[in-house]
Amino acid sequence: EVCAEYAKTFYLGTLLMTPERRRAVWAIYVWCRRTDELVDGPNASYITPKALDRWEKRLTDLFEGRPYDMYDAALSDTVTKYPVDIQPFKDMIEGMRLDLRKSRYKNFDELYLYCYYVAGT
State mean pLDDT over 15-29.
96
State mean pLDDT over 11-26.
95
Burial of 96 (0-12, 13-18, 19+ CB in 10 A): buried
State residue 3's pLDDT score. 87
Helix %, strand %, coil % of the chain (to 5): 75, 0, 25
Q: Are 117 and 94 in contact (CB under 8 A)?
A: yes
pLDDT band at 20 (very low <50, low <70, confident <90, very high): very high
pTM of the predicted model as reported, rounded to 2 decimal places = 0.91
Q: Are 52 and 96 in contact (CB under 8 A)?
A: yes
Burial of 62 (0-12, 13-18, 19+ CB in 10 A): buried
State residue 2's pLDDT score. 86
Q: How far apart are CA 83 and CA 98, in angstroms?
A: 28
Q: Give 62-76 pLDDT, tens digit per residue.
A: 999 999 999 999 999
